[in-house]
A and B are shown apart, each in its own frame.
Chain A
Amino acid sequence: MTMTQQPNPQGQPQLALTGISKHFGSVVALDNVDFEVYPGEVVALVGDNGAGKSTLIKIIAGVYQPNAGMITFDGRAVHLSSPQAASALGIATVYQDLALCDNLDVVANLFLGRERASAPLAGPLRQLSEEAMERQAIDVLHSLSVNLPSVHRPVAELSGGQRQSIAVSRAVLWGSKVVLLDEPTAALGVEQTALVQQLIVRLRERGLGVVIISHNLADVFKVADRIIVLRLGRRVGTFQRRATTPEEVVAAITGGVSLAGEEVH
């Protein structure tokens, strides 16, 4: 019952992968996997080590190309040939290491590689539009209720949760429609975790599709609308968070018998 239903009735998925297979030599990492995330939905991707989570995420991020299968974004078939192609479409990936420059301040990190600039000189010698960037940074942080002591602090001085918030805000600032978060709370304390969870909820409220990969089921059950379980390269379960229990999900992850009495493969 809980295994295969279509969850959110908000029309078409923001991002959908169908029949994705990926093998490395003779090792099959993903075998005919479907995956979808709707606008305004938080999907948790869970599974044991080696279940194929990272491979799937890297395919969505454009790092790997699948051997078979189809990807649609906004209902159109797309080819995620590179990380740049994925991010140009509006798929942002926040890896565990966050990819922040510790020595730069919040504004500089938010606009890293996409600085706003103007004359007098051309090309790389354009003058930074510091004020415009600062204004936009304050506005986007405010809209996401991210509280920082100052946007001029080097990010090295910020807490883990704040740093995670900046990495996520960057995705919002750049107009992403799907945000992938790799273990967003793995290195965080209780308070910081709550901060990041609130931020994820706000991303959903803004209508973004959010995908979180997490080992922490408590975390998953706090924020996810839907939980997709991978096991040995296959999608073995899809759960509505409100209609399931951690026990059921764990059973799916480990390949035990679910409470519904169906055996999970």
Chain B
Amino acid sequence: MAERTFKIWRGNKDGGEFVEYKVDVGPGWVVLDCIHRIQMQHSTDLACRWNCKAGKCGSCSMEINGKPRLGCMTRMNSLPEGTITVQPLKTFPVIKDLVTDVSWNFEQNKRIAPFKPRPRDADGHHRMKQEDVDRVQEFRKCIECFLCQDVCHVLRDHKAHDKFVGPRFMIRLASLEMHPLDTDDRVEKIRKEFGSGWCNITRCCTEVCPEHIGITDNGIIPLKERVVDRFYDPVAWFLGKVFGKK
């Protein structure tokens, strides 16, 4: 067991500070294991969200050495020597310690009109080819860790929460817009209400995605193209009206 030093941000909305802890790290440990050890040995009231501990639920989002990451998927042996800093997501208001108020994200999801499927085939089945659902399935891998929201500079630096829904909900929109069965037309709202124009394709969101979803290239850019086709290309707009959107 090797001893490692952590600096963990402790505090609440009124302010806080980094507090130093030392942890004996066992084989294969991840950052979340260390936080649990700190809770048990040093500070039982340390606040940190977690659930599955296997990168499947997206609860333990935090900033480790300044980078948005999942605590459960960050192996200790992948971090450089020296003190490890852990702090809450910067884009969302702090509740306590490593826990932030991410309720804004849940509000955004409510703004997105639900899936509206075409009728079933006569025998009661929906038929879709696997290759036609591959790209939608890629977006649906999202575990809602909100790391992409945290790193998105429109939200993080410009605080334009009222203008742009952020990468997570752009790919939610993409998963509906590209769903072979969906009949709703979402393009106008993607531009006007959800702010697709605010993204300037720095790909920071794609970089931090623990599910390796091609958020920018496979989701946001195609949505932007649909917006451009609709609003700035009259021929495509006309053809779309005549032959359908897909």
Note whether A and B form a binding pair. no
List chain A positions with a Cβ less than 8 A from chain B.
Answer: none
